[in-house]
Amino acid sequence: MSHRLLVLAFAALSAFATGGQAQSSFVKGSAEGWAKGAVGGGNVAAVFPTTPAQLVQYLGDSVPRVIVLKQTIDFTTTGTTVTETGCAPWGTGAGCQEAINGANNWCTTSAPSSSVPVTVSYNSAGPNGMTVTSQKTLVGVGSSGVIKGRGLKIKNAQDVIIQNIAITDINPKYVWGGDAIQVLGSSLVWIDHVYTARIGRMHIVFGLTASPSVTISNSWIDGRTSWDTTCTGAGGNGYHYWGVFFSGAGDKVTMKGNYIYHTQGRSPKLEGNTLLHFVNNYINDNVGHAFEGEDSSSTAAAIVEGNVFQNVKTLFLTPLTGKYFTAPDTTTNAQCSTALGRACQINAFGSTGGLLPSSDTSFFSRFSGYPSVSAVPASQVAASVVASAGNTL
């Protein structure tokens, strides 16, 4: 064997042994923003789960993995049906979302005072997300990679890529019925081209421990539902409230190119000392509010630039805690160069209320070391996001 072939063979063997420093060929593109450099399971040989048990094993073991999903993995038929006493926090009419009491006794400790006991029946798989450990890539093929009835829990993990999959139908009638994606105390996490729909609680939620390098890109949060928290008259309005919640201490998140559609709140919600770059997203058809932050001790901060807010009843729920730079005009936007290395893009609004233009730059030093993230004018955002967001690769 020639010296060159020996070198190439040794390099390939070394990459395999360490979980891979190169990205798998199944993954398209690479992360921008805080998760830049994420390679997930690297370039190890791919595995192709065909059963729920295999998917759980591959995601949760201690081996670097590239997990390729080519079909629907259905957990709605694997769990048991649990029937117990829950509550109706917002009403008992048709279309009103009810709640599971759960281990946190939510119905008895936190539910609205108007809540009444009801019998709930739900699938036991939903409330318990699948553990995702370090050095994992989960990627779908075309539009065929679907997880139904159970979400993902990325906890205390490093280097995870979730790309081009759909997560759907997690006990949508019930709050605490399950989250699509949880991120807790993890770093180098890239969530890209993911579609979430008909979720009981949060589409994406962060825990109370720091996740300092996460990018969420090109994903579609679809809030269309048959059960919701707005229960007036005969029932709900079909808009999901539990969207995106950054609640951790020390979270640093980039959200770029996402489609947040048909919601009524938490689009997103920021608490703790979350640092968010919210760029070139399309928020469309929100009958409540987009940004939310109600913790009086919160030091959350966000640069909000180059986004389109269309048919959003209220941009910011007030009172609002935290700090925001909302890219109000070209002159002010030049100040973004100290945080992003370039000027910010102006946001675009259509039929949107509750605007809160802010030029607060006092938190820009917290973006120290932030990788360069490109941005296009808001005029280019809506069409491109609708065309590409979700599991469309």
For residue 7, pLDDT over 60 is answered with: no
> How confident is the model at residue 294, as a pLDDT?
84
Give the pLDDT mean for 360-380: 97
Binned at pLDDT 50, 70 and 90, residue 234 comes out as: low
> How confident is the model at residue 355, as a pLDDT?
86
> How confident is the model at residue 19, as a pLDDT?
43
Share of the chain above pLDDT 70, in %: 94
pLDDT tens figures, 150-169:
999 999 999 999 999 999 99
Is-contact 188 38, C-beta < 8 A? yes
Residue 27 lies in a domain: no
Phi first, then psi: give them for residue 13, nearest 5 degrees.
-65, -40
Binned at pLDDT 50, 70 and 90, residue 94 comes out as: confident
Give the pLDDT mean for 53-71: 98
Residue 266 is a catalytic residue: yes
Closest CA to 260 of 236, 289, 235, 293: 289
Q: How far apart are the C-alpha atoms of 22 and 17, rounded to whole Å?
A: 12
The model's pTM is 0.94
Give the pLDDT mean for 137-154: 98
Mean pLDDT of the chain: 93
pLDDT tens figures, 120-137:
999 999 999 999 999 999
For residue 116, pLDDT over 60 is answered with: yes
Active-site residue (options: 4, 198, 266, 342): 266
Alpha carbon dihedral 357, 283, 336, 345, in 10-degree steps, equals -100
Residue 5 lies in a domain: no
Whether the CA torsion 204, 291, 34, 163 is positive or negative: it is positive
Residue 102 lies in a domain: no
Binned at pLDDT 50, 70 and 90, residue 297 comes out as: confident
The DSSP symbol for 333 reads H
Looking at per-residue pLDDT, the higher value among 17 and 172 belongs to 172
User: What is residue 108's three-state secondary structure?
Assistant: helix
Looking at per-residue pLDDT, the higher value among 237 and 215 belongs to 215
Cross-strand partners of 292: 269
Q: For residue 59, give the CATH number of its domain.
A: 2.160.20.10
Looking at per-residue pLDDT, the higher value among 256 and 355 belongs to 256
Q: What is the domain range of residue 160?
A: 47-79+126-388
Residue 178 lies in a domain: yes
Residue 170 lies in a domain: yes
> How confident is the model at residue 47, as a pLDDT?
98
From the CB of residue 379, how many other CB atoms can be counted at a distance below 10 Å? 12
Residue 11 lies in a domain: no
Is-contact 194 181, C-beta < 8 A? yes
Binned at pLDDT 50, 70 and 90, residue 16 comes out as: very low
Residue 36 lies in a domain: no
Share of the chain above pLDDT 90, in %: 88
Domain count, the chain: 1
For residue 306, pLDDT over 90 is answered with: yes
For residue 2, pLDDT over 50 is answered with: no
Residue 266 lies in a domain: yes
**Burial track 73-82 (b if 16+ CB lie within 10 A, e otherwise):** bbbbebbeee
